[in-house]
Structure 1
Amino acid sequence: MKYILSIVLLAFLPKCFSQNPVKKLAAQLTSTQPTDSLKMVAIFHWITDNIHYDFATFNERLPTLDLGNTQSSAVVLSSKKAICGGYANIFYDLCQYAGLKTQIIEGFGKVRNSSNPADSTFRIESHAWNAVKINQKWYLIDLTWSAGAMINDQFQQRKTWDFYLTIPSQFLLTHYPFDPLWQLSDNIITEKEFIKGPPFRYSRKFPLGKTLLTFEQLDSTSRVVSSQERILQHDPNNNNAYNTLGFHYAMKSTQILENYTAISRKIRENKIPHQQQQTALTYKEQLFSLLNQAEVELNKALDYYNHIAPQALIKGVNDNKNSIFMNLEAIRKDREMMNKYYSAMSKNKR
């Protein structure tokens, strides 16, 4: 049975850092810097001096930061333009290449509606920034807002240090992370508190030290999964988290089905009947196990996708759900076919 082995993810996610131009730039910027602090300063200066805000893309974006790969660090480096996701991506990749521990953070930014000091009104927008670990401590940094500011609907390039390694309580006045870990506090606030503004109650307890320790021990994929699970514990209505987890489990099923398909091909390629049957018997338990595993992961993915609200405007969800349904049906047919095959083989041996 032929399986659909491609799944679409267009939501914002940390990008892999395999782009050679980015790696080369990281070496140029940091190879002569003796400390992590100086490496980060070099990266900060380069980004805020050379990357300009992409106002056209900002106007075209969806509320979910659903921009595919247009904000990857390779694209940003080539175009020298980005919105927040691109700033966060290129900082992340440059830091990774420089040996610095960092993280991309999604959340809300609180943006003033006017540069007029008398106008205290603001709006809430989807935003992305970073955390970086320096001298055994995690700090928060926003490259987008450090590079400049929106003034009269135009982005003016002017460097500021206001969002550079800012203390968490100060950062939280304008940045609300979906993952409560990145409030970097043992006492956290809710989204409603953030929108209302200070003074904050900090009414919820959070095991910061334990969670950070666990986070640092995970691989990159497990970090994403644990982060999305925390987000849903904190906010059960976060559509992006459901989408990311749906994608994760769909991709796990894809890897399992690729393994299953490879073994099936190996059996079919043996044209000598008794040898083919012997090979099939050798892999029988593994084949059924792989189908069962893939089915479990597909149902997990479907469950997460089904939690996404229709008005969420996340691309690819319906296509991915259709692929899941088709793969589940293919698994059912393959399992049925294998049961008949092995049953017939058993009868022939009697």
Structure 2
Amino acid sequence: MKYLLTLFLLISISVNSQDFAEVDAKVTKYPRFSKVEDLATKIDNDFSKDEEKARAAFFWLAKNIRYNLKEFYNPKQRSIRFSYASEAEKLQKLQAAKNNLVNATFKTKQGVCEEYAQSFKRICDLLGLNSKVIKGYARNTPNEIGIPANTTNHAWNAIQLNEKWIILDATWAAGYEYNGKWIRKFNNYFYNIPKEKIFKTHFPDDSLWVLRFGRMSLSEFYNQPIYGHNFLNSNIELLSPQNGIIKAENGKNIILKFKNLALNSAIIYNFKGYRYAQKPVLKMENGITIVSIPNPKKNSELYLYFNNEVALQFKTK
């Protein structure tokens, strides 16, 4: 008996102790391969260690595949329909569909998170490395705080190296969106994301992956502040508030507390709709830095900048 299957492809949008400078330098000189097999062969010839091969694949993707903002802002439902007579045939056709997606990505040199994740997985398969594509949730703006998404909106990877699983995200490592434009800038934080910080930016849909790295619910994930990538890559720690929705009391300032934040740090803040950013008041108490910000006296969004880069985002009520 034949069955019909429709495959919907997902559309969305640390300080690393290991030094990959030599790997990155070598991969920087690679051509912009149009076939995934050619890239995998080159990596296999140039590197002997699994850690180096994984890094080479990740770095090449982040440096050569451009995020498709047009697809992100105007997503098209992509579906592949096929019939199958057995589980083996179904898996074979599913893999063929994923391979076609990767082949198109290498030809166009662009894609969204699904393309990055499936491409990394395909390279690892060719190199004999054990990797997975993880579907899940990510947040980018304050209006998402406290409002869990109904469906997954992001994809990234896990890879097993030296009998340990590490998490990486080639999409976010490749760059970022700014004022409607894609800014290509490699961010090393997203290669081997620190275990204790994974849930600040990524939440797997599969509960088994959640349990590998801690305990958190989807609602708890969405209730957090939005953490900036460079903030997470520092040793500064937000102690309070842990909730991304700040209920500001009348006549009282908004208070944020940090660990490892120097009093002379370059910090400014702004509320959504305000024309100019301001400097908050900082003071130190028992080794804790207290940041005081005037109450906006209305529902708004608070943006905190460290060294002119967004560090934290909150909703205020």
Report the TM range for the smaller structure's normalisation.
Answer: 0.5 to 0.7
1:231-279 deviations in Å (ceiling 9; x for gaps): xxxxxxxxxxxxxxxxxxxxxxxxxxxxxxxxxxxxxxxxxxxxxxxxx
Q: Which runs of structure 1 show a deviation greater than 4 angstroms over 4 or more consecutive aligned residues?
A: 3-6, 65-71, 120-125
Query: Quick one: distance in 1 between partners of 2:165 and 2:211?
Result: 8
Q: What do the CA deviations read for 1:203-228 (whole angstroms, capped 9, x no partner)?
A: xxxxxxxxxxxxxxxxxxxxxxxxxx
Equivalent pair of 2:65/2:111 in contact (CA under 8 Å): yes
Contact 1:12 1:67 in 2 (8 A): no
2:35 aligned with 1:21 = yes
- Listed one character per residue, the Cα deviations across residues 73-107 of structure 1 (whole Å, up to 9, x for unaligned) are 11101110010000001000001111111000001
One of 194, 197, 217 as aligned partner of 2:221: 194
User: In the alignment, which of 3, 6, 9 is matched to residue 8 of structure 1?
Assistant: 6
Cα distance in structure 1, aligned partners of 2:213 and 2:197: 15
Q: Which moved more, 1:179-188 or 1:24-33?
A: 179-188
- For the pair shown, the structure with the greater C-alpha radius of gyration is 1
- Asked if structure 2 preserves the Cα contact closer than 8 Å seen for 1:112 and 1:122, the reply is no
Match of 2:123 in 1: 94
Q: Does the residue aligned with 2:46 lie in a helix, a strand or coil?
A: coil
Q: Answer yes or no: is 1:83 the counterpart of 2:112.
A: yes
Which residue, out of 45, 54, 59, partners 2:68?
Answer: 54
Match among 34, 37, 41 for residue 51 of structure 2: 37
Aligned partners of 1:180 and 1:66: how far apart in 2? Answer: 26
Q: 1:22 to 1:166 in 2, by over 3 A?
A: same
Q: How many residues get paired? A: 185
Asked if the contact 2:114/2:155 (under 8 Å) is kept, the reply is: yes
Structure 2 stretches lacking a partner, 5+ long: 12-33, 81-96, 226-241, 244-317
User: Which has the larger share of helix?
Assistant: 1
TM-score normalised by L of structure 1: 0.47
- Residue among 144, 147, 166 paired with 1:139: 166
CA spacing shift, 1:137–1:52, aligned 2, 3 Å: same
SS in 2 for 1:197: coil
1:233-244 map, 5 Å: none
Q: Does 1:149 align with 2:176?
A: yes
TM (norm. structure 2) is 0.52
**Shift in Å, 1:190:** 0.8
Matches within 5 A, 1:277-292: none
Instruction: Please give the root-mean-square deviation of Cα atoms over the aligned residues, in Å.
Output: 3.1
State how far apart, in whole Å, the 2-side matches of 1:67 and 1:143 are: 24
Secondary structure in 1 matching 2:189:
coil
Segments of structure 1 that go 5 or more residues without pairing to the other structure are 14-19, 115-119, 201-350
TM-aligned CA deviation for residue 197 of structure 1:
1.5
Q: How far apart are the structure 1 equivalents of 2:78 and 2:195?
A: 27
Q: Distance in 2 between matches of 1:121 and 1:81?
A: 32
Query: CA–CA distance in 1 between the matches of 2:179 and 2:147?
Result: 14
Conservation of the 8 A alpha-carbon contact between 1:168 and 1:183:
no
**Identity over aligned pairs, percent:** 26
